[in-house]
Structure 1
């Protein structure tokens, strides 16, 4: 998408109740004429938040969301519709569908679980990453093109290594112009970046896009910085896996998994 005016300081602009137009900041890394999935994943949660707000708070927390990428994410207006698949007072399943040009391109399912006070038994992994303010920025745009990558502030904990990197990611941009987004939507809008911070092979020679993203959360994250403790594995038959422990500034909040299709870059 090209325009003669600067892009707004957001990834999307709302055009009606269910439709959003991506700005140049949402431009993809594999193809700058497509959307990067990361902000679109956050936009889906933004739509889910609005759907839930429209019916009133029932004390449920989004604890897992799985996205399936069904087709090309053109840098064009998208429509998001949300519905309840399995209603319930303590456990509920929602589904969101994203369409571009009338064609479904993403289908997401989110499990909502009842929020309860379990502080007396809370425990598990609690290792905190070094604060991002103490770390130096990494010019990730030198490795990847696209408006989305250019919009990021990336702070690796240590120099990135092939297949293994831990980094903080943040953005100064709003998810949707002139609209507040929940901490969860803002946090998840950065998670799909994981597949680009720990590349095993040069993206100029190999393609390894993900066809899905599944996020499990044991705690609601705070907005601001998204911590990605990422490992990438390539198998011998064209399939890869990006696995990430997700952090906010207080510690781990959950995990993300992305399955990859690995193939040589086509020769021009």
Structure 2
């Protein structure tokens, strides 16, 4: 169970203080990409929200390591529309632009395509009845803030194993202190874990750097638990891609893609 009340504590309008729950497994002075991604989605959702216009695709570019401490977000509509619109958001840390996101919001009409809806592919049952032992990456011990802020129940593989992974996840704490996290926010908190869950080479020997993350959303989860099916492929030239899906007990939620720089650690 996480010792932290939230990933971020509000300190002003669109300003936040990060907590250790955002910590990267490799450098606690930096943030894992998941919470900043969710915070930018929050900014986009709050920007001129329209009824029935949810985020259908969000792409997030990480412009470098995201430091712990005071951050702020801002968002604006750059292409308004009644059916389709584009929104951009930025996250600033220590006076520098650290993360940039763009999202398409597309109008949805409940029941409009029910007669052609694709049959759902359901995930395997949630392992239970209680939490699994928390074993993280080699060199990362107990007290990893981000890891503890999420419950992980593996169906296949684990943090300490290489290759594709299948795992049920549940975010344990709010994104922002004092707020109930939105369903899309919970989804994006875990989406950036795709490459870490499914690494094909030891992360103690290799750098695994995803400069960007794209999530294509079909719908948001209806319950706290989400099933993550993640895999990574690496080419002979060092280029890689992490890809995966999140589902719940009703079927597909979203598709995830992350191009990777894969290089030996010096």
TM-score, normalised with respect to structure 1: 0.89
Deviation at 1:168, TM superposition (A): 1.1
- What's the counterpart of residue 167 of structure 1? 167
Give the RMSD, CA atoms, in angstroms. Answer: 2.0
| Alignment partner of 1:123 is 2:121 | no
> Deviation digits for residues 136-184 of structure 1, max 9, x if unmatched?
6252425463321232211111234522111112232111111122111
Deviation at 1:135, TM superposition (A): 7.8
The answer as to whether partners of 1:141 and 1:150 remain within 8 angstroms in 2 is no
Question: How many residue pairs are counted as aligned between the two chains?
Answer: 258
Secondary structure at 2:156's aligned position in 1?
coil
| Alignment partner of 1:21 is 2:17 | yes
Deviation at 1:132, TM superposition (A): 4.3
- What's the counterpart of residue 3 of structure 1? none
Find 2:83's aligned residue among 90, 106, 109. Answer: 90
* Unpaired segments ≥5 residues, structure 1: 1-5
Query: Superposition pairs for residues 49-60 of structure 1, below 5 Å?
Result: 49-53=45-49, 57-60=50-53
CA distance in 1, matches of 2:150, 2:106: 32
- What's the counterpart of residue 222 of structure 1? 222
The runs of at least 4 consecutive aligned structure 1 residues that moved more than 4 Å come to none
CA distance in 1, matches of 2:166, 2:133: 12
Deviation at 1:44, TM superposition (A): 1.2
> Deviation digits for residues 13-44 of structure 1, max 9, x if unmatched?
01111111110111112211100011111111
CA distance in 1, matches of 2:41, 2:128: 27
CA distance in 2, matches of 1:115, 1:88: 13
> Deviation digits for residues 31-89 of structure 1, max 9, x if unmatched?
11100011111111122222244xxx332121100001112201121111100011000
* Unpaired segments ≥5 residues, structure 2: none
CA distance in 2, matches of 1:112, 1:193: 24
- What's the counterpart of residue 68 of structure 2? 75
Find 1:47's aligned residue among 18, 43, 46. Answer: 43
Secondary structure at 1:208's aligned position in 2?
strand
Secondary structure at 2:209's aligned position in 1?
coil
Deviation at 1:259, TM superposition (A): 1.0
- What's the counterpart of residue 149 of structure 1? 147
CA distance in 1, matches of 2:28, 2:257: 24
- What's the counterpart of residue 245 of structure 1? 245
